[in-house]
Amino acid sequence: MQFYISISRYYTAIIFLVMILLYSISCNEANEDRSATAIIKKATVTIHLQPFKGIAANDVLYIFNELKKVYPNIVLNKTIELPSSAFYPPRNRYRADSIIRYLSLHTAKGHITIGLTNKDISTTKNEIKDFGVMGLGFQPGNACVASTFRLSKQNNLEQFFKVAIHELGHTQDLPHCEVKTCFMRDAEGRNSTNDEKEFCGRCKNKLQKKCWIL
């Protein structure tokens, strides 16, 4: 009789331990869910993707999905025409600063807009009046622009994402970074996106404080 009681107590203890383990897992999952929900609620800024006519829908969708992984509040706007005021006839280009000015005027407080285009864009750099760029963003700002025009044929979607997140980084008050593998490195007139791997620790820390999930 005593033997059966011991066995019974043994199995009771096992069941009790299993219940505690399951409860612990359930609580951890709940805490993770609450944490993710808290991040979304705390992220007061909404980022809008503004595609311009001519850019491939698949390119836009890729950027949307990749940004959604690292920032909770992403909205995809309907495609619009590039502002005619940004066109630069002498080089058949669009001025990136003029595009940003246009987007900024149409961006509400608490929102950031990134324009996505396949057209050649440019800006003034040092003594060069019309310098071709892959993207442009002001530090800080509420608008920026990224272009596929100067990307390599290989890895072009990955490169496009790196350009987009670089310019968004500027709007979040991130300067150029000296770490060569950081998304915020200065391109210095070249396409160095294949060398970029992620945000460095310092840049990542600044973005995490603004509710980026990195």
Measuring CA to CA, how many Å separate 182 from each of 30, 33, 108, 118, 186? 33, 30, 30, 24, 9
Instruction: Give mean pLDDT, residues 78-99.
Output: 97
Q: How many domains does the chain have?
A: 2
Indicate whether 104 and 177 sit together in one domain: yes
Instruction: Give mean pLDDT, residues 184-207.
Output: 95
Indicate whether 76 and 143 sit together in one domain: yes
Residue 133: predicted pLDDT: 97
Indicate whether 38 and 61 sit together in one domain: no
135-137 sheet: strands from edge to edge: 74-76, 46-51, 111-117, 143-147, 135-137
- With 0.75 as the threshold, say if the pTM is over it: yes
Tokens matching residue 157: 């979607």
Q: Which amino acid is it at 135?
A: G
Indicate whether 69 and 147 sit together in one domain: yes
Look at residue 170 and tell me whether its pLDDT is greater than 50.
yes
Burial class of residue 144, CB neighbours in 10 A (0-12, 13-18, 19+):
buried
Instruction: Give mean pLDDT, residues 186-196.
Output: 92
pLDDT bin (cut points 50, 70, 90) of residue 44 is confident
Domain membership flag for residue 130: yes
Q: Which residues lie across from 48 on neighbouring strands?
A: 75, 113
